[in-house]
C-alpha cells in the first residue's frame, strides 16, 4: 500500500524544540503582536535555522522573532497571494523569488541596511533570477538528488530511472510533491531542457509519472529524509542538506546526484509586500548574513552556504563534505529553475494533480 501523503517536517527541527526557537506550526495563529518594533514574524522552512539563532538575535537586539513554518513554495505563494497576513521575512526558493517579484508581492531591499552583504561569495551576488539582488538575499544553495539506504539498493543509484521509470524498488520510492520541481526533474531525465514549456515534452512527463505511480510509496513535502531514516522507504528525491542531516544518524544512508544532472536552487531571504516592520526585517536579514550567525545556521542545517565568511569558520567535516558540496563535475550538469509565467506554473500544478489522482 502506498504511504499516505505526509506533511513537511525537514527533520522536525532535528531535535530542537519548537518552543525553544519561537515557532508556531500553524501559520500566524498564535504569533504574538507585542509592542511595535519588538517582534517580527518569520515564515520559514522547517529545521532551517540555527539552534540558537533566534535567541541570539533577541539578545543582540531585543527583538523577538516568531517563526512559523510552510511545507513548500506552493504553500508559501498561496498564503501570500491574497495579501500579507503579517509576515516580515520569508524564505522563497529562487524561481519563486522571480514569481513573487513579478506578482508585486515583494518589497525591494535597501542594501545600505544590509552591510553583511559583504560576506557573500561573489558568485551569489548577481544571480540570473534576481540581478543585483533587488528582491532577495542568499540564505542557502541546494541541489536535488537521491537519498538512499545502501543495504537495500543495488549499487549506487546514479540514474533518475530508479525513481521515475522502473518497478525495481516498487513501494519503497519517495517523490517530491512540489509540482515544478518534480516536472523539471522528469524533463531532465527525458533529455529535455529543464525549464521547457513544450507541450509534447510535458505530456511525456505526465504519462511517465502516471505509469510509474503504482511503484511510488509517497509524494512527500520535503520530509523524505525522515521517511528514509525511519525505514518507510529506501530511495527518495530529496535535497543534499536534508540527507546530510540524517547521514549523521545512520551510516547506512547516502546521497547521489544522478548522472543526467539535477536542479540546483537557492533559498533566499525576502521582505514580503506590506511587511509590518520593514526596518526590523532588514536588521534581521543582515544578522542572518553575519559570519558567526551564518556558521551557526550552517552547522545546524547542513546545507551549503553562499556566505563565504561563514564557510571560513566551518570545520572540514562541513567544508569538505561531498554531500554538502558536490563536485563541480556533476554541478555543471545542474540548472536553476526559472519562472516562465503563471500559465506554465499552473500547468505544472495541473500535471501533478492529475498524476496524484490517477
Summarize pLDDT for 278-336 with one digit per residue, the tens.
999 999 999 999 999 999 999 999 899 999 999 999 999 999 999 999 999 999 999 99
Q: Where are the beta strands (DSSP E) in 184-339?
A: 216-220, 235-239, 253-256, 263-269, 335-336
Task: Return the pLDDT at 31.
Answer: 40
In tens, the pLDDT along 74-112 reads 899 999 999 999 999 999 999 999 999 999 999 999 999
More confident call, 9 vs 172: 172
Q: What is the Cα–Cα distance from 41 to 54, expressed in whole angstroms?
A: 11
More confident call, 60 vs 29: 60
Of 147, 122, 323, the closest CA to residue 232 belongs to 147
pTM for this one?
Answer: 0.82
Sheet (strand 23-24) strand order: 23-24, 64-69, 39-44, 89-90
Amino acid at each position: 500500500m502506498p504511504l499516505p501523503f505526509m506533511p513537511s517536517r525537514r527533520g522536525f527541527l532535528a531535535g530542537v524544540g519548537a518552543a525553544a526557537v519561537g515557532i508556531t506550526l500553524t501559520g500566524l495563529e498564535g504569533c504574538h503582536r507585542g509592542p511595535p518594533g519588538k517582534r517580527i514574524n518569520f515564515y520559514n522552512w522547517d529545521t532551517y535555522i540555527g539552534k540558537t539563532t533566534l535567541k541570539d538575535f533577541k539578545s543582540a537586539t531585543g527583538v523577538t522573532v516568531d517563526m512559523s513554518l510552510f511545507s513548500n513554495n506552493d504553500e508559501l505563494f498561496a498564503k501570500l497571494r491574497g495579501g500579507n497576513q503579517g509576515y516580515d521575512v520569508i524564505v522563497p526558493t529562487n524561481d519563486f523569488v522571480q514569481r513573487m517579484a513579478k506578482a508585486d508581492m515583494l518589497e525591494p531591499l535597501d542594501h545600505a541596511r544590509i552591510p553583511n552583504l559583504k560576506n557573500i561569495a561573489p558568485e551569489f551576488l548577481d544571480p540570473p533570477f534576481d540581478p543585483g539582488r533587488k528582491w532577495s538575499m542568499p540564505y542557502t544553495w541546494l541541489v536535488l538528488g537521491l537519498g538512499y539506504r545502501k543495504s537495500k539498493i543495488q549499487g549506487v543509484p546514479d540514474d533518475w530511472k530508479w525513481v521515475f521509470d522502473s518497478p525495481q524498488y516498487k513501494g519503497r520510492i519517495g517523490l517530491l510533491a512540489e509540482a515544478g520541481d518534480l516536472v523539471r526533474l522528469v524533463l531532465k531525465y527525458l533529455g529535455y531542457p529543464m525549464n521547457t514549456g513544450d507541450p509534447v515534452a510535458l505530456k511525456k512527463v505526465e504519462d511517465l509519472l502516471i505509469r510509474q505511480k503504482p511503484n511510488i510509496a509517497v509524494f512527500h513535502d520535503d520530509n523524505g529524509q525522515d521517511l528514509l531514516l525511519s525505514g518507510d522507504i529506501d530511495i527518495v528525491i530529496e535535497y543534499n542538506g536534508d540527507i546530510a542531516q540524517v547521514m549523521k544518524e545512520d551510516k547506512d544512508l547516502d546521497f547521489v546526484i544522478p548522472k543526467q544532472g539535477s536542479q540546483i536552487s537557492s533559498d533566499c531571504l525576502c521582505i514580503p509586500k506590506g511587511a509590518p516592520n520593514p526596518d526590523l526585517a532588514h536588521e534581521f536579514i543582515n544578522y542572518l548574513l553575519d559570519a558567526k550567525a551564518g556558521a551557526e545556521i550552517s552547522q545546524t542545517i547542513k546545507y551549503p552556504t553562499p556566505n563565504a565568511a561563514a564557510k571560513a569558520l566551518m570545520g572540514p567535516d562541513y567544508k569538505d563534505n561531498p554531500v554538502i558540496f558536490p563536485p563541480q563535475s556533476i554541478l555543471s550538469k545542474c540548472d536553476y529553475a526559472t519562472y516562465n509565467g503563471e500559465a506554465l506554473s499552473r500547468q505544472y500544478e495541473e500535471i501533478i494533480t492529475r498524476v496524484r489522482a490517477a
